[in-house]
Amino acid sequence: MILESKIRTIKWEDNVSKVIDQTLLPYEYKYIEIKSIENMYESIKNMIVRGAPAIGIAGAHGVVLGAYECEKEYGNDIIQFKDNLIKKSIWLKTSRPTAVNLMWAIDKQIEIIKKFEGCNIQRLIEELEMNVKSLEEDDIKINKKIGENGAKLVGKSWGILTHCNAGALATVGYGTALGVIRSAYANDKTIKVYANETRPRQQGARLTTWELIEDGIDVTLLTDAMCSYFMKSGYIDMVVVGADRIALNGDTANKIGTYTLAICAKYHNIPFYIAAPKSTIDVKIKNGNEIPIEIRDENEVFKINGKLICREGTKTINPSFDVTPNELISGIILEDGIISGDYEKEIKKLFNM
Ligand code: MRU
């Protein structure tokens, strides 16, 4: 069974990208319009749009916006048009480094540009616009499949812990980890969700609780350090989180703090699942050590709501993601099913390698 989400995080409409400005939530629910590839770069970097699948779609939108700009500049010269659009698209891929969905979706657009034959720029732009629509639709369909697959793992009245936001707000509109929770809730209204706050950007507090309350799903907010207390006290039957990049051997990068959760879950014998689309798997990367980890501005740690929370001159480092080793992962829930055990073997099978 499916519980539709009311949230549509990103949509292509009237030749612009419309996104929910996630920096304003939970105080304000507002769409903004992104009208240039430069503006899209900044929106991804500054996390107006965030979450691996959502920034993938944003990247694909950005390429179309770049195409409009190149059309103005290079008019009828298809070679110049293609060269410059590819350059802009490659640049857009650098807006954030960890979530591979961004590179994956932009590469899909680049493939279309490279393969296009003929000199009708308008026709090429139409192909890019059509691809945006199909990526958006696929994202929702894929998430629903992930949800259905994952829901089969959930027992009656279970407590499910999640981290960061891997919901409708991190995708086009259903969610990966929260997709599993949505589908499980549709089958059993007595499940309880525990959402980690997710310092420093507080996606759990600001986004996950907002989104689940919006859909009427029972949610309790925890600070990140509470996880072992709640596991030991019997509140948690399962952990399910999203992913930003999965290496060939199943090692998984996700929001900072995920690794700690996986260790705590192992200690307490609680199953720990990753929910993600296949596009999050980077088969070019052998293991987690090769995944680039984004280091963000120190002020995200030093300040809450713009106010310093420590003494001036304090030091910090702000890695935005960590990598959970495959041996701590009970299974990876994908649109094609759930893989576990020898991840490398399973992933190679999935990709016909
Ligand atoms: O820095 P963010 O908010 O983009 O990080 C998002 C996460 O880590 C999510 O858990 C991940 O992208 C999975 S999204 C379905």
Whole-angstrom distance, CA of residue 292 vs CA of residue 282? 12
Catalytic-role residue among 139, 215, 237, 244: 244
Which residues does a 6 A CB cutoff place in the pocket of ligand 1? 50-53, 99, 164, 166, 170-171, 176, 203, 242-244, 254-255, 320
pLDDT at 37: 98
pLDDT at 84: 98
Interval 74-102 mean pLDDT = 96
Nearest-CA residue for ligand 1 atom 15 is 166
DSSP 71-111: HHHHTT-HHHHHHHHHHHHHHHGGG-SS-HHHHHHHHHHHH
pLDDT at 75: 80
**337-339 vs 331-334, strand pairing mode:** antiparallel
Residue 155 exposed, middle or buried by CB count within 10 Å (0-12, 13-18, 19+): exposed
The preferred substitution site among 5, 44, 46, 50 for testing ligand 1, maximizing ligand atoms within 8 Å of CB, is 50
Q: What is the pLDDT of residues 227-244, one digit of tens each?
A: 999 999 999 999 999 999
Has residue 319 got a pLDDT over 80? yes
Centroid of ligand 1 to alpha carbon of 282 (angstroms): 16
Local confidence band at 6 (pLDDT 50, 70, 90 cut-offs): confident
In order of start, what are the domains of the chain with their CATH numbers?
A: 10-143 (1.20.120.420), 146-350 (3.40.50.10470)
Q: What is the mean pLDDT of the chain?
A: 97
Which atom from ligand 1 is nearest to the alpha carbon of 243?
Answer: 13
Give the pTM: 0.97
Is residue 95 within 8 A of residue 45, CB to CB? The reply is yes
Interval 189-214 mean pLDDT = 97
Q: What is the pLDDT of residues 159-186, one digit of tens each?
A: 999 999 999 999 999 999 999 999 999 9
244 catalytically annotated: yes
Look up residue 22 and give its DSSP letter.
T
Q: What tokens does 238 get?
A: 């399962």
